[in-house]
Structure 1
Amino acid sequence: MFSDLDEQLASTLKHRAGGDVDPTPFVQHARIRGRRLRLRRRALIAGGVAAACAALTSVVLVLPGGRTTDDPIAPASALMLPEARGAATVRPEEVGADPATVHFSPGALVSGAEYATWRAGRGIESVEFRGRSGQARFVLARTEVLLDELQQTLSSAGRPQPRSDVRVGDRPGVAWFDPSGDRQLWFVRWQPVDGLWAQLDTYAPTRDEATGTAGRVRFDGAHRCVVPFRLESVPPGGRLLECSVTFGRSARGTFVEGALVVGDASGRWLTVRAQPAPAGGARAGDLTAGPYRARRQGSDVLDMTVEPFVVEAFRKGWGDGYTEAEGLTILGGYRPVGDPSRPDTW
């Protein structure tokens, strides 16, 4: 195996062929190379010791803002939203009307999940769980049309099979599946109460297992859709349309991202999203957004750093119709709330 030392030897010998060879550069290079090898060997030994120590100790949970704890990686319950006060039977007119409230509990869907994304507003409420053991999405809507308009989020072969009648608990419904490799993506749709529609998308080996999982979703309580911030400066006529938040169970912390959608009666809307800020300090900005400094990210996105989060306002793609000036006004009303590591304080 040739090295840079071999190449230097050959080059120098060729250059000084027939004359005396000065060994000084060779010895100097060998010393440098030897020093690098010793440092590399020490690093490998240190890494092995660290790995052994890590195997003997509990995993340290790194929370947003850099705070750590000796607790193990978050349990599955950390993927749940805080409970809302006053559990009551869900009423159709309430579903998707209040972006701060989710009117169901997902039951067994949380088992084995590593991430959960909750949404509420604009006529629907939903949760999507993702993990190594599988994925599932549950949606509650005021009309069946809203379910038909949903974009499919779980992968399949794109060959949905004919529907068949099923029962979810004591309620009638329909189920169909779409092949997905060695498993099947099942869709179960039913009305948990008159005037309200529900759909579960889940991977399951049989129709009975899919409908059984759907039957474990509960509608006798409510949860709060929460994010660690508020928007206190919305243009005239604007209001909160939707809330979404993603939790994870990784050692980096349970909060992955949160977003609020604001809009008005004319159809304009804009999304503000917050995520944990990457290491390396705040991003410089040349625009003013209330007490903050913001910057352009392309032509359609504004962003700023308000520790411990990066905050973005999407004017297009995840928005439509708001001007840059209005986007800066909305960002200027951004206010952090609660402890970033405790959703119950948001």
Structure 2
Amino acid sequence: MRDQTDELTRKLRELAASAAPGSGIDVARAVRDGRVRLRRRRFAALGTVAAVAAATAAVSLLPAGGDRAPRPAPAATRASAAPAPDPDPLVVEASYGWLPANFDSVSYLPDHGRTVVRADSRVRDGGVMGPMVWLKVYPAGTTPSTGRLFYQGGPRQYRVEAPQVDGRPAYWVGRSPTAAEAPGGDWYLRWQTADGRWAELQAGYLEGTDAQRILHRIAEGVIVARRAIPLPYRISGVPAGLRLFEATFLRGQQMVPEDHVPWTSSINFLADGMHIGTTIEPDRPESAKSAADALGNGHTRSTCIRQHGLKLCTESLNGVDAYRSVGGPKAWLKRFTLLGTNQRDWTTDVLG
């Protein structure tokens, strides 16, 4: 396990230190490859080490997604003032309108300042991984390119024409001028949306002769619209010195396979360059817990509270020093209001 941990740590550090690679070799890809071997929480802690290094250059409020009805778009920002931060740290630019019947969960992960909306298929009995699809929308004015390498030392990307999506240009990112499939059996489909931005689907473990047809049909159903995701908590009185780094919401067998919980959410801040990580998930009965239940990688200790059927935990690789501006880990947790396990009670008004 230590060898596996060291290898994953090395790969994550290389990702943080390198220029942004091809769209498939990114944090989401690292999640896909790493979670087979390591528990989700250990990966999160290791990922933080690499991510915080990258965050010293730029920290942004990362949007992400959900599966509730979209809320109305916010009013136009006043030109005389900087945009007010969104009260929901998890906002998505696009959602799935159609997925194959065996896809039963959607998760939301950060990716180089954007958000990946990930759909997972059920894992067959005795299997480890099932088909999965990532969805993201590029910022306005950004045109994704081909011609570069998929990853360091890997094959070159080629543009392979695809049928239009909703009457607009589309193409595959393939490993040769005539092969639409990417390395490792992945598929990448890009198309221009109605507002001029580019969207991308990446599929992994989607095999068979129907793989292209299925991915194209998923693209046809994508809804490009900004929407906030209800979350099971509120945070009051966030000090000005804390900067939002990222928020996530994960669900499904392939995202939390060893935690015995249906979903888990996290929100992460930077305080004076130090990382504060906090997770929220359904509390488990004692019979389902193990000695590895605590957050962290074996070198940090988490502080937790349990309320309304939820478990709230926080920890930092920098220890208690990271919590100076919030009065310590316990005082930080007191700023959270937990809303229970019924998703109808969750809110998009998270950051007070």
Which TM-score bucket, shorter chain as reference? 0.5 to 0.7
Cα shift at 1:119: 4.2
Aligned to 2:333: 331
2:268 to 261, 265, 272: 261
Alignment size in residue pairs:
235
Matches within 5 A, 1:189-228: 189-193=190-194, 196-202=197-203, 203=206, 205=209, 206-219=211-224, 221-228=225-232
Is 1:99–1:241's contact at 8 Å kept on the other side of the alignment?
Answer: no
Aligned to 1:279: 285
Is 1:297–1:303's contact at 8 Å kept on the other side of the alignment?
Answer: no
User: What SS does structure 2 have at the residue aligned with 1:174?
Assistant: strand
Identity of aligned residues (%): 19
The one-letter amino acid of 2:198's match is W
User: 2:270 & 2:144 partners in 1: Cα distance?
Assistant: 19
Is 1:255–1:341's contact at 8 Å kept on the other side of the alignment?
Answer: no
Aligned to 1:342: 343
1:81 to 67, 84, 94: 67
Q: 1:81 to 1:120 in 2, by over 3 A?
A: farther
Structure with larger RCO (C-alpha < 8 A, sep 6+) = 2
Cα shift at 1:138: 0.8
1:142 to 139, 153, 162: 139
Is 1:260–1:272's contact at 8 Å kept on the other side of the alignment?
Answer: yes
Is 1:168–1:211's contact at 8 Å kept on the other side of the alignment?
Answer: yes
User: 1:248 & 1:163 partners in 2: Cα distance?
Assistant: 33
Aligned to 1:305: 305
Matches within 5 A, 1:12-91: 81-86=67-72
Cα shift at 1:127: 1.4
Unaligned regions of 5+ residues in structure 1, if any?
A: 1-78, 89-93, 153-157, 284-293
Is 1:141–1:147's contact at 8 Å kept on the other side of the alignment?
Answer: no
The Cα RMSD (Å) is: 4.5
Aligned to 2:350: none
Cα shift at 1:186: 0.6
Per-residue Cα deviation, 1:18-58 (whole angstroms, up to 9, x for no partner): xxxxxxxxxxxxxxxxxxxxxxxxxxxxxxxxxxxxxxxxx
1:236 to 237, 240, 251: 240
Q: 1:163 to 1:321 in 2, by over 3 A?
A: farther
User: 2:332 & 2:69 partners in 1: Cα distance?
Assistant: 28
Structure ranking higher in strand proportion: 1
Is 1:102–1:120's contact at 8 Å kept on the other side of the alignment?
Answer: no
1:270 to 268, 276, 294: 276
User: What SS does structure 2 have at the residue aligned with 1:107?
Assistant: coil
Q: 1:102 to 1:295 in 2, by over 3 A?
A: closer
User: What SS does structure 2 have at the residue aligned with 1:235?
Assistant: coil
Q: 1:295 to 1:240 in 2, by over 3 A?
A: closer
User: What SS does structure 2 have at the residue aligned with 1:111?
Assistant: coil
Aligned to 1:116: 106
Cα shift at 1:245: 1.5
Per-residue Cα deviation, 1:258-293 (whole angstroms, up to 9, x for no partner): 1122346x7654331112223229x9xxxxxxxxxx
Q: Under a length normalisation based on structure 1, what TM-score does the superposition of the two structures give?
A: 0.53
Q: Which moved more, 1:101-110 or 1:321-330?
A: 321-330
User: 1:210 & 1:310 partners in 2: Cα distance?
Assistant: 37
The one-letter amino acid of 1:234's match is V
Aligned to 1:107: 97
Is 2:232–2:338's contact at 8 Å kept on the other side of the alignment?
Answer: yes
Based on CA coordinates, which of the two structures has the bigger radius of gyration?
Answer: 1
The one-letter amino acid of 1:82's match is R
Aligned to 1:185: 186
Is 2:276–2:322's contact at 8 Å kept on the other side of the alignment?
Answer: no
User: What SS does structure 1 have at the residue aligned with 2:99?
Assistant: helix
Per-residue Cα deviation, 1:63-114 (whole angstroms, up to 9, x for no partner): xxxxxxxxxxxxxxxx9522133379xxxxx9x9763432322022363223
Aligned to 2:169: 172
User: 1:216 & 1:255 partners in 2: Cα distance?
Assistant: 26
User: What SS does structure 1 have at the residue aligned with 2:136?
Assistant: strand
Is 1:225–1:243's contact at 8 Å kept on the other side of the alignment?
Answer: no
